[in-house]
Amino acid sequence: MTQFLDISGLCARIDADGQEKEILKGVDLSIPPGEVHAIMGPNGSGKSTLSYVLAGREDYEVTAGTVNFQGKDLLEMEPEERAAAGLFLAFQSPIELPGVNNANFLRTAVNAVRRARGKDELDAVTFLKTARAAAKELSMAPDMLKRNVNVGFSGGEKKRNEVLQMTLLQPSFAILDETDSGLDVDALRIVAEGVNRLRSPSFSALVITHHQRLLDYLVPDRIHVMAKGRIIHSGGPELAQQIDREGYTRFLAEAEAA
């Protein structure tokens, strides 16, 4: 128990075409405050499902287990309450909102979260200043604030926009769901730097990735291997190289044997 994020025995299923499908089969994971953890694992192991379940997506039904987030029962909270409590999910495929101005969306979100956290709302001028500065640090074109949310954004622009939102919403816990997918090396570095800037004793993150490359820039405190809906192995940052070299076969075999 870390008293920050404690996931215990988490099971969840989804109703896919009338078939109940068990995806999480007893996830145990603890992340202490100030630490960045990574989850790696083969396709279909439940990594994205875990991120959705933590963020409160209603398509998934939690059938067992608990998630304690900073002393609160996370699973009892609405998605927006989780956001207000400090949870942020950087989407693997960020969603387009046609007609919704990006700056307006960001300000609405920031102020909703500030209100819920008992802080004053930001006026338009202060917000724009902050947002522009943050966008610049992520090497985003200035007009991206004026465009519609994610509409017509390239893959890299979408991912940067996620990190921009994360920066402005100031979460205490961020989940990055394959934020590195579809990024070239430069974009990868910029995004990783964006996350690194947030690192502090009061910021934790769970980074879901397929590749060791992101973890070169974003060195995690722990790496977990997820397969078949469970965490089957955990280790230090050196685990990434090992996976890169050997794949998951050995961990899968060990898990089978156990």
Partner 1 sequence: MPAVTETREAVEKLGQSSYKWGFETDIDMDVAPKGLNEDTIRLISARKEEPEWLLEWRLAAYRAWLKTEEPKWAKVSYPPIDYQDLHYYAAPRKKPGPKSLEEVDPELLRTYEKLGIPLHEQAMLAGVELPEGETARPPVAVDAVFDSVSVVTTFRKTLEEAGVIFCPISEAVRDYPDLVRKYLGSVVPAGDNFYAALNSAVFTDGSFVFVPKGVRCPMELSTYFRINAKNTGQFERTLIVVEDGASVSYLEGCTAPMRDENQLHAAVVELVAMEDASIKYSTVQNWYPGDENGRGGIYNFVTKRGACRGARSKISWTQVETGSAITWKYPSCILQGEGSVGEFYSVAVTNNHQQADTGTKMIHIGRNTRSTIIAKTISAGHSDSTYRGLVRVLPKASGARNFTQCDSLLIGDQCGAHTVPYIENRNMGARIEHEATTSKISEDQLFYCRQRGLSEEDAVGLIVNGFCRDVLKELPMEFAVEAQKLLQISLEGSVG
Contact residues for partner 1 (CB under 8 A)? Answer: 55-59, 78-80, 82-84, 88-89, 91, 94-101, 105, 108-110, 112-113, 116, 148, 165, 169
Q: Which of 91, 102, 99 is nearest to 140 (CA)?
A: 102
Q: Which of 254, 251, 230 is nearest to 65 (CA)?
A: 230
Closest to partner 1 by CB, 98 or 142: 98
Exposed/middle/buried for residue 129 (C-beta within 10 Å: 0-12, 13-18, 19+): exposed
Closest to partner 1 by CB, 169 or 215: 169
Closest to partner 1 by CB, 6 or 162: 162
Rg (CA), the chain: 18
Handedness of CA 35, 248, 251, 69 (dihedral sign): positive
Closest to partner 1 by CB, 88 or 248: 88
- Residues 233 and 43: their CA atoms lie apart, in Å, by 16
